[in-house]
Each structure stands twice: as structure tokens, then as C-alpha cells.
Amino acid sequence: MRWPLRSQLLVPLGLLLCGAMGITLWSAWSAAERARQQIETSMRLISQTLSEAPQFPLSAQVLGHMKRLSGAEFLLVAEDGRRLTTLPRAEFDLPADVLHEDWQRVHLGPPVKVEGEAYLCSGIRLRPPRQGDRLYILYPEALWRDKLWEEIRPSLVLGVVALAAVGLAVGVAQRLTRRILELERRTRQIAQGDFSPMPLPRRNDELRDLARSVNEMTERLVLLQETVQRTERLRLLGQVGGGLAHQLRNAVTGARLAVQLYQREVSRAAPDQPPDSTPLEVALRQLTLMDTSLKRFLDLGRQGNHVSERCSVRAILDEVIALVRPQCQHARIALRVHPGEEDWVLTGDPGQLQQLFLNVLGNAVEAAGPGGWVEVESRHGEAGQCLIDIVDSGPGPAAEVAARLFEPFVTGKPEGVGLGLAVARQVAEAHGGSIAYSRQQDRTRFRITLGATTPVPGTGHQQELVQRSEH
């Protein structure tokens, strides 16, 4: 469960505020009750004294002394109706329910208005020999409020101070939270790649030190990013250079083997019979392929105009097979071709399609290795598609590479650049098809699917080329 920092700061302060207000209210209520009890205790003591000392004379002078001692006003109503009081006048109405028989029940009763002043009234019946006399005690409401305020004022002052302290703490917490949220927002921007420095807070505290550290971190991240970019460019340059060298080495090797085959044919040919010129044609195609590879690497990453024309899939595939034939012969690799009964014609870029087949077939030949075999089979698929399966007897790519086989710069070969299969997939998709990899029964299969093809009746021949090197 997420608990925001603002809540962590404000919730305890809110609880502290509630506790402080509760203690303040309880203290104020206790002080009010204490003030009431003090006044009522004074009134009860007076009532007890007069009730238990009936011989004590109640005169105007005695009532005056009692007023000065207690602060209350007194009214004595005799049995015959005569009134003796400390108030300016004695004739006023009295509540009937404030008169008590027992002095212990005397308390601050309901208010009574006399000459515009309010008094809290309570009374007691006196004992014999003053049977029938009634003594009323009238405590000034203003004096009661002053007494009450005097008692509760310390608690209220303490509550106000606590409230101000908590309010100040809440304000400080809000300000700290805003500053922390600003730091959090800035770190998110850094995570998104914005390395611009953040303004330092005016207050010199730990958060200012943290902001300064964040700025120092962004400066180092900028330097690190530049270093990583330079290193990555050098690494990619090395990979591309290694891949280019690998492609050129394969092309040169194929051309050299073709020339060697031609020399062998020349040495074996009869004087009256010209030698077979096919190896020289293969050498020329290998040299043309070398030139094409150079151009493709120089154009890497550029968006150029592609050729779009009707081309024969079988013709392109036969030309690629002729290019890899010398390499298979030299490494004693069995190359078996099953062209199917039909040819397929599609609209596309012949150079790109040749690169597609050459990349996949070249990888298969390298994976098969000396003494292995490679099969190429083409057949008709669903919805007018052309399917080309290239199967080899090699061990297949490593598990960590197989899942990302068609991604750029992913390769399991030390000298590889990791662009061959990535380019193959791009070309296949550009021609409405796809390329897929599978590994079954110790065989590696690449299936190339080309869409929107037109089948054309072909010769339907089958070739099995097992070339052996005589070196």
C-alpha cells in the first residue's frame, strides 16, 4: 500500500492537533466545573452555617458581611412576608423550584433579573426557631463569567499555542513536501533523458545539498552518455567493418575457387576442345557481389529508391546457388536443390531478393560446415505464396541468440556483424512475405515466404550437387 510522504508528515500532525484540541477542551471543561464547584461549595458552607446555627442573628449588617466574604447577594424572606436583602430593592419575582430543604443541595440555579442585572439563584429553608424563613443566595452572573474565564483562560491559551504550533508544523511540512515533489519531478525528467540543471533552492539546507548533488549527477550522466555514444559508434563501426570484411572474404574466396576450377579445367581440357567457361562466370558474379556488398554497407541506414520490376524467383535463386557452389565444393558440403514444378514471378527488387537468398543460404553453408549438407526446396503455398525452405545440418544458433535471431547486431559468430538475417527479414516483409526459423530433429530450417506471386510452369528438375575438393 502506497503511503505518500505528505500523508506521513501531515497525518501525525493532524493526530497531534486533534489530541491537543481534545486536551484543551477537556482542561477548559474541568476548569469550568472546578470554578462552579468552588462557588457552590462557598454557597453550601454559608447555607450550612445559617442552617445549623439558628441562634445566629440575620440582620442587614450580617448579610452585608456575608456579601463581602462570598461576593453573592442575599435575600431573607421571613414567614410573615418581610424581606431583608443586600440588593438595591427587595421586591422581585423568585423561581419556585430553587428552594431546597437541605443545604447540601444548594447549587447555582437559573438566572434571575434584578434591576437589569442577572443573578444565579438558589435558596434554603431555615430550621427552627426561624421556621418558615427562606434565605435566597443570588450569585452575579457577571462575576460567575469572570471566575469561569479566569479558570479556563490558561487552558485556552495553551490550546491556541498548540494549534499555532501544529499549524506552523503543517505549513513547514507542506513546503518540504513541495520541494521534495519538485526533486522527484526533476529525477523523472532525468530518467527520460532531460539532463538540464535544475535551479537551486534559496534556502541553504539539506534539500539544497540534494539538488546540488542531482545537478552533479546530471553532469556526470551527460559525460557518461557522450562516452557511451562514442563507444557504441566505435563498436558498431568495428562490427560493420568486421562484417564487411567477412562478406568480402567470402566473395574473394568464391572468386578464387572459381578461378582455380577454371585453371583445372584448362589443364585437363583437350587441345581441340575449349575449357568450360562457367567457373569464370561464377568468379565474375562473385566480384559483382563484392561490389554490391560494398555499396550496401556504404548505404547502410539510408533510405534510397528501390527498383521495382517483374522478376523470376527461380532465376534469382539459381544465381545465388551458383554463387555458393564453389564454396560448397571446396568444403565438401552436399548442396541439394529441389526447385519444384513451377516458377514464380513477382514484382520487386531483384537485387534485394538476391541479397535475401544469399544471406540465408550463406549462413546455412557456414553452419553446415565441412562434410555437412544443405537443402533448398521451393514450392507453391497458400493464397499464391511462394515458399522457399533452406535446411542445414549445422548445430543451430545458441539459445540466447535464437530468440533474437532477426534483430540487428545480434549474432553468435565472432566475426559476424548481425545484419544478414535482419536485412533478410526486412526484404521479405518489403515483398509482402516473412521469414521464420525453426529447429527440429537436429536440422535448422529457415522458411522464406513471398507473397503476391504468379506461378509459371517450369521444367521441374531436381539437382543434387555433392562437390568434393581435390586439394
In percent, the amount of the chain with pLDDT more than 90 equals: 8
The secondary element (H helix, E strand) that includes residue 378 is strand 373-380
Name the strands in the sheet holding 454-457, side by side, starting at the edge strand that comes first in the sequence: 309-312, 342-348, 454-457
**Domain range annotation of the chain:** 5-159, 305-466
Q: Is the dihedral of CA 150, 152, 158, 159 positive or negative?
A: negative
- Residue 360's pLDDT is what? 92
User: Residue 131: CA atoms inside 13 Å, Cβ hemisphere, count?
Assistant: 2
- Cβ proximity of 166 and 16 under 8 Å: yes
- For the cut 60, the answer to whether the pLDDT of residue 311 exceeds it is yes
Q: Quick one: how far is CA 278 from the chain centroid?
A: 64
pLDDT band at 457 (very low <50, low <70, confident <90, very high): low
Lowest-pLDDT choice from 35-49, 181-195, 238-252: 238-252
- Residue 355's pLDDT is what? 85
pLDDT tens for 391-449 read: 999 998 888 888 888 887 777 666 566 777 888 888 898 888 999 999 988 899 999 99
CATH number, domain 5-159, options 2.60.40, 1.25.40, 3.30.450, 3.30.230: 3.30.450
Q: Which CATH superfamily is domain 305-466 in?
A: Histidine kinase-like ATPase, C-terminal domain (3.30.565.10)
pLDDT band at 466 (very low <50, low <70, confident <90, very high): very low
Equal CATH topology for 5-159 and 305-466:
no
- Cβ proximity of 63 and 135 under 8 Å: no
Residues 183-197 have a mean pLDDT of 83
Q: Quick one: how far is CA 164 from the chain centroid?
A: 38
- For the cut 60, the answer to whether the pLDDT of residue 142 exceeds it is yes
pLDDT band at 467 (very low <50, low <70, confident <90, very high): very low
Q: Residue 97 has what DSSP assignment?
A: G
- Residue 443's pLDDT is what? 92
Residues 76-81 have a mean pLDDT of 80
- For the cut 90, the answer to whether the pLDDT of residue 225 exceeds it is no
- Residue 336's pLDDT is what? 92
- Cβ proximity of 47 and 135 under 8 Å: yes
pTM: 0.45
Distinct helix (H) and strand (E) counts, the chain: 9, 15
Give the integer Cα–Cα distance in Å for 355 and 303: 17
The secondary element (H helix, E strand) that includes residue 455 is strand 454-457
- Residue 438's pLDDT is what? 92
Q: Is the dihedral of CA 63, 65, 68, 69 positive or negative?
A: negative
pLDDT tens for 46-78 read: 777 777 766 667 778 888 888 888 888 888 888
Grid coordinates of 234: 566505435
Closest C-alpha among 267, 372, 330 to residue 469? 330
Give every CB contact of residue 397 below 8 A, 6+ residues apart in sequence. Answer: 405, 412, 444
Amino acid residing at 253:
T
- Residue 14's pLDDT is what? 77
Amino acid residing at 291:
D
Grid coordinates of 123: 435558596
